[in-house]
């Protein structure tokens, strides 16, 4: 049962072929069989089964609340749920309980979804491998010696190992798409402003978005359709989120629709070093496929390509240093017992934050300091506008842009942990999407010779989620990932 998609579960629940309790139990058993993958910070079986039971009661009475009523959804542990701890995988918030629910949690609860385990992440979502978690190292279901990607590594491994049918992640610079590509699943970052971030613990507010992680494109659209929408509690929430709602059912483009679609290929660095052979092969496969469908394929080049990592790491760290100043030992989480206020601040932060978080706070404070503000932060803001303008320019002539999600497949645990610059490089393909605010989706495109999945990223214009899903669904139908090795494997 666990290798079926959420959409299939939804239909079976509707028809009474199995109950939400049977379904949820099957996933919990699977999660327990895969416990050495260390995907969850919390998996409260009795609360979860209770939610499934309530769902079954509704379904029995014919009061099903939504297509996801009764379907488990794992939640990244930086999204506030009153009924659970919200730890952000940080010692600072180890025992923190939010007094309120995130908007996405409210929405899922009122849709009857079974709020499932809380998934591990890089501390405060800062990282690309989930190794920066203060609690545990999540492992890749395709090879437990490798990372699942990050920062939504727990969510990606949970869906990829078939321990949950769906999950929420958050994406500031690639944290949904890159782990999705490493774990062989679909990960989608919506247009900035499409999904409310109320109740998402802020990392870099001008970039953060919550999005769906799933086994199929169709499931991705279904989950997005239930969490999106204008929210007055998030000032960056966009009216278009309501005006152009995502269709919950995806109609893949037919051969006729695909003919003449204008697709830009952005593989500029792909010719140079640092890209795995398997990733280059996926690019060729993608290109051949597009041409076979009669799409109009053009190679495009970004003039700003080499600047996106510095732009991102200036803006994201600046915003993080400001957002994380609220963790002062007084209001939230950890408090060091000290006799004076200054020591309390310093010791609480010294003890509570891990090394990567400290590095970012230092970097961010530096780029915001007077004297450096213009040289770094202001310049980065201007350059960011140029990235956005470049997307607008590209999309004057194009329907979609395709590129690999990551230069490599999943790397070994420990391989990049000591080298932050190498780690930051792995975001090369994903962060410009956040800088531009456009929607993008990563979907599986074959495997390398070690049996590790490769991911391809498709980007669409602002608020064109529907066409993105339709296009991705057509690609997906010809590149289904073989998961037979995963279903029978335990960890
Ligand atoms: N890997 C990027 C970083 O470390 C992106 C993280 C994210 O999207 N949350 O900042």
SS3 state at 298:
strand
The Cα–Cα gap between 124 and 451 comes to 30
DSSP 8-state secondary structure symbol assigned to residue 215 = S
Q: Phi first, then psi: what are they for 91, rounded to 5°? A: -60, -25
> For residue 36, how far is its CA from the centre of ligand 1 (angstroms)?
24
Ligand 1 pocket check for 361: Cβ under 6 Å: no
- Cα 162 to its chain centre, rounded Å, is 17
DSSP string, 132-179: T-SS----BTTBTTB---SSSHHHHHHHHTTS-SEEEEEESSSTTHHH
For ligand 1, what atom is nearest to the CA of residue 313?
A: 10
* pLDDT tens, per residue, the chain with 491 residues: 999 999 999 999 999 999 999 999 999 999 999 999 999 999 999 999 999 999 999 999 999 999 999 999 999 999 999 999 999 999 999 999 999 999 999 999 999 999 999 999 999 999 999 999 999 999 999 999 999 999 999 999 999 999 999 999 999 999 999 999 999 999 999 999 999 999 999 999 999 999 999 999 999 999 999 999 999 999 999 999 999 999 999 999 999 999 999 999 987 555 667 889 999 999 999 999 999 999 999 999 999 988 999 999 999 999 999 999 999 999 888 899 888 999 999 999 999 999 999 999 999 999 999 899 999 999 999 999 999 999 999 999 999 999 999 999 999 999 998 898 889 988 989 999 999 999 999 999 999 999 999 999 999 999 999 999 999 999 999 999 988 888 888 89
pLDDT of residue 262: 98
Mutation pick for ligand 1 pocket among 175, 176, 201, 203 (CB with most ligand atoms within 8 Å): 175
pLDDT of 409 reads 97
Residue 151 near ligand 1, beta carbon < 6 Å: yes
Q: Supply 401's token pair.
A: 């842009």
- Do 332 and 96 touch, CB atoms closer than 8 A? yes
Chain-centroid distance of CA 249 in Å reads 21
Q: What is the pLDDT of residue 271?
A: 60
Place of tokens 């749920």: 81
Residue 153 has which token pair? 């590594």
**pLDDT at residue 485 in the model:** 84
Q: For ligand 1, say whether the CB of 126 is within 6 Å of any of its atoms.
A: yes
pTM: 0.97
**Which of 77, 90, 120, 127 to mutate to test ligand 1, by most ligand atoms within 8 A of the CB atom?**
127
Ligand 1 atom at shortest distance from the alpha carbon of 204: 9
Kindly write down the DSSP assignment for every residue of 88-140, as one continuous string: TT-GGGTT-B-SS--HHHHHHHHTT-EEEEEEP-SGGG--SSSTT-SS----B
Residue 181, phi-psi category: left (phi > 0), alpha (psi -120 to 50), beta (remainder): alpha
Pocket flag, ligand 1, residue 169 (CB < 6 Å): no
Are 444 and 184 in contact by the 8 Å Cβ rule? The answer is yes
- Domain 6-256+468-487, CATH number (from 3.30.200.20, 2.60.40.10, 3.90.1300.10, 3.40.1410.10): 3.90.1300.10
Q: Where are the domains of the chain?
A: 6-256+468-487
Catalytic-residue membership of 152: no
Helix (DSSP H) and strand (DSSP E) numbers for the chain: 18, 11
Which residue in the list 170, 175, 278, 348 is annotated as catalytic? 175
Residue 132: what pLDDT? 98
- 54, burial (CB in 10 Å: exposed 0-12, middle 13-18, buried 19+): middle
pLDDT value of position 269: 55
180 C-alpha to center of ligand 1: Å?
A: 13
Ligand 1 pocket residue status of 172, Cβ below 6 Å: yes
Give the atom of ligand 1 at the shortest distance from the alpha carbon of 203: 9
Instruction: In whole angstroms, give the CA distance from residue 188 to residue 14.
Output: 26
Known catalytic membership, residue 281: no
Q: Does an H or E element contain 446, and which?
A: strand 440-447
């Amino acid at each position: 049962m666990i290798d079926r998609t959420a959409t299939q579960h939804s239909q079976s629940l509707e028809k009474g072929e199995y109950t939400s309790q049977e379904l949820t139990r099957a996933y919990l058993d699977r999660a327990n069989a895969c416990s050495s993958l260390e995907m969850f910070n919390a998996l409260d079986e009795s609360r979860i089964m209770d939610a499934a039971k309530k769902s079954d009661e509704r379904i029995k009475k014919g009061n099903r609340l939504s297509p996801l009523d009764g379907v488990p959804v794992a939640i990244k542990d930086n999204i506030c749920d009153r009924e659970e701890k919200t730890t952000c995988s940080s010692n600072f918030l180890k025992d923190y309980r939010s007094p309120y629910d995130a908007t996405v949690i409210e929405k899922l609860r009122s849709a009857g979804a079974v709020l499932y385990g809380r998934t591990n992440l890089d501390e405060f979502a800062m990282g690309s491998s989930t190794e920066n978690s203060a609690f545990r190292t999540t492992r890749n279901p395709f090879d437990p010696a490798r990372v699942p990607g990050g920062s939504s590594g727990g969510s990606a491994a949970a869906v990829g190992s078939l321990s949950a049918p769906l999950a929420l992640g958050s994406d500031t610079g690639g944290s949904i798409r890159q782990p999705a590509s490493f774990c062989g699943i679909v990960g989608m970052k919506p247009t900035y402003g499409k999904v409310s971030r109320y109740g998402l613990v802020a990392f870099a507010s001008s970039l953060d978005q919550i999005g769906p992680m799933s086994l199929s494109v169709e499931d991705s659209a279904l989950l997005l359709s239930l969490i999106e929408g204008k929210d007055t509690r998030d000032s960056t929430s966009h009216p278009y989120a309501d005006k152009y709602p995502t269709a919950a059912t995806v109609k893949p483009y037919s051969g006729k629709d695909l003919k003449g679609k204008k697709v830009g290929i952005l593989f500029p660095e792909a010719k140079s070093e640092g890209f795995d052979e398997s990733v280059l092969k996926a690019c060729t496969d993608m290109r051949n496929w597009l041409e076979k469908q009669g799409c109009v394929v053009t190679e495009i080049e970004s003039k700003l390509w080499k600047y996106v990592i510095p732009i991102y790491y200036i803006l994201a760290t600046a915003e993080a240093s400001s957002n994380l100043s609220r963790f002062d030992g007084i209001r939230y989480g950890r408090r060091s017992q000290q006799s004076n206020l200054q020591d309390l601040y310093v010791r609480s932060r010294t003890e509570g934050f891990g090394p990567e978080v400290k590095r970012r706070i230092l970097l961010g404070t530096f780029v915001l300091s007077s004297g450096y503000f213009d040289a770094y932060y202001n310049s980065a803001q201007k350059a960011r506008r140029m990235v956005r303008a470049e997307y607008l320019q590209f999309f004057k002539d194009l329907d979609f842009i395709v590129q690999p999600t990551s230069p490599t497949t999943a790397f070994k645990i420990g391989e990049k942990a000591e080298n932050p610059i190498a780690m930051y490089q792995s975001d090369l393909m994903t962060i410009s999407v956040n800088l531009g605010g456009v929607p993008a989706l990563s979907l599986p495109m074959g495997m390398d010779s070690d049996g590790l999945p490769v991911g391809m990223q498709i980007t669409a214009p602002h608020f064109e989620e529907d066409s993105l899903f339709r296009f991705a669904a057509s690609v997906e139908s010809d590149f289904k990932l073989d998961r037979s090795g995963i279903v029978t494997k335990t960890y």
